[in-house]
Amino acid sequence: MALRRVVTAEEDTLRKKSREVAAYDDKLWVLLDDTHQTMDKFGGVGLAAPQVGILRRVIIIEDNDTKYEFINPVITSMKGKQREVEGCLSMPDEWWYVERPDKIHVRAMNRYGKEFNTDADGVFAIAICHEIDHLNGVLFTDIGDERVEDEQELEKAKRARNRKKNKHKHKRR
C-alpha cells in the first residue's frame, strides 16, 4: 500500500469525468487500498479515486467505523431533501451547506466485480452523493447554497450533522 497525494480543487483532474472500471484485478485493488490509506491519513469520511489522481469510478465511504467500497456506483432512486454542512479533503478551507436527497438507493460493484445494492440515508447518503459528484467532475462548492465562514457557525453545523450521523441507519443487501 502507498499513501497518495490528495489532488486539490485547482487541478484540472477534479473537473474531469471518471471512466467506468472494467477489470476487477490487482490494479484496482492497489487503487482501493491506497485510497483507504490516504483517507485514513487525512481523516476524511469519503474519498473518490480522482482525488488521488485516478479517473476511475471508485469511491470509498466511512460510516460508523466501517469502510464501504463502491465501484461504478449508480444512484437508482432518491427521496426527500436534507441540507447539511459539507467539507472536502481537496478543499480543506471550504465549508458549504449543500442540499441533498434524504434517502437514496445505490447500485454498485464490489472489488471482485459482484453487484450489490444499498439503501442509504442521512450522513451516509450525503457522503455517497458528494463522492459520486467527484466522479462527474462536480465539486460541492458548485452546488452549495451558502458558505460557512464563521467558526462558531461551523461548529454548530458540524454538531447538527453528527447528531444525524448517530441516528441514521442503512441496509446493505
> Which are the catalytic amino acids?
131
Q: Which of 14, 88, 128, 148 binds Zn ion (CB under 5 A)?
A: 88
Residue ranges in 99-118 that form contacts with Zn ion under rule CB under 5 A? none
| CB 115, min distance to Zn ion, A | 25
Query: With respect to Zn ion, which residue has the nearer C-beta, 39 or 108?
Result: 39
Q: Which residue is nearest to Zn ion (CB)?
A: 88
Query: With respect to Zn ion, which residue has the nearer C-beta, 21 or 88?
Result: 88
Query: With respect to Zn ion, which residue has the nearer C-beta, 71 or 88?
Result: 88
SS3 89: coil
Rounded distance, CA 121 to CA 78, Å?
A: 10
The C-alpha cell 484496482 sits at 28
Stretch that binds Zn ion, among 8-16, 59-67, 82-90, 157-165 (CB under 5 A): 82-90
HSE-CB of 77 using CA atoms within 13 angstroms: 5
Q: Give the CA angle between residues 65, 151, 45 to the nearest 5°.
A: 20
Total residues contacting Zn ion by CB under 5 A comes to 1
SS3 72: strand
Of the candidates 46, 53, 48, 47, the residue with the CA atom closest to the CA atom of residue 12:
53
List residues binding Zn ion (CB under 5 A).
Answer: 88
